[in-house]
């Protein structure tokens, strides 16, 4: 005989996604880490997708509760420093190229011959011969 359904959740309103608090996420992840309990069992009991629980577990393993709270990927600090150094180098190169462009523009302006405006003689006033 099958187990009777204990809980039915009806989602109403315009929001289709449920929002989980950081504490709720950590609590669910901690439940999955108890001996003898599977992620799928916790997911079924709590009405959460197993893939979502696995994602939260991975983030918890990589960065701890802070990663789960932030709901973002964890990046090693060495990678962050590497990218910051790269940005600094690119900014330095951009400044150098900007300065070269300004110098070349000024040199081009000085090298161009000045165009003189030629004035045509005024026509004689009307009625005079």
pLDDT category of residue 33 using cuts at 50, 70 and 90: confident
Of 19, 22, 31, which is closest to residue 63 (Cα–Cα)? 22
* pLDDT, average across residues 90-94: 96
Integer Cα distance of 49 and 32 in angstroms: 13
User: What does the domain layout of the chain look like in residue ranges?
Assistant: 22-70, 75-112
Count other Cβ atoms within 10 Å, centred on residue 64: 12
Q: What is the pLDDT of residues 103-112, one digit of tens each?
A: 999 998 888 8
DSSP 21-85: -HHHHHHHHHHHTSTT--HHHHHHHHT--HHHHHHHHHHHHHH-HHHHHHTS----HHHHHHHHH
Q: What is the pLDDT of residues 38-81, one digit of tens each?
A: 888 888 888 888 898 888 888 777 777 666 666 666 677 788 89
Amino acid 94: pLDDT? 96
């Amino acid at each position: 005989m099958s187990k009777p359904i204990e809980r039915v959740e009806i989602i109403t309103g315009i929001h289709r996604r449920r929002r989980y608090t950081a504490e709720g996420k950590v609590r669910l992840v901690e439940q999955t880490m108890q001996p003898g309990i599977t992620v799928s069992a916790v997911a079924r009991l709590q009405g959460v997708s197993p893939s979502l629980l696995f994602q939260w577990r991975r983030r918890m393993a990589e960065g701890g509760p802070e990663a789960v709270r932030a709901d973002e990927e964890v990046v090693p600090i060495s990678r962050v420093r590497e990218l910051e150094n790269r940005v600094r180098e690119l900014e330095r190169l951009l400044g150098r190229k900007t300065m070269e462009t300004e110098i070349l523009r000024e040199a081009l302006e000085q090298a161009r011959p000045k165009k003189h405006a030629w004035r045509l003689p005024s026509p004689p006033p009307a009625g005079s011969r």
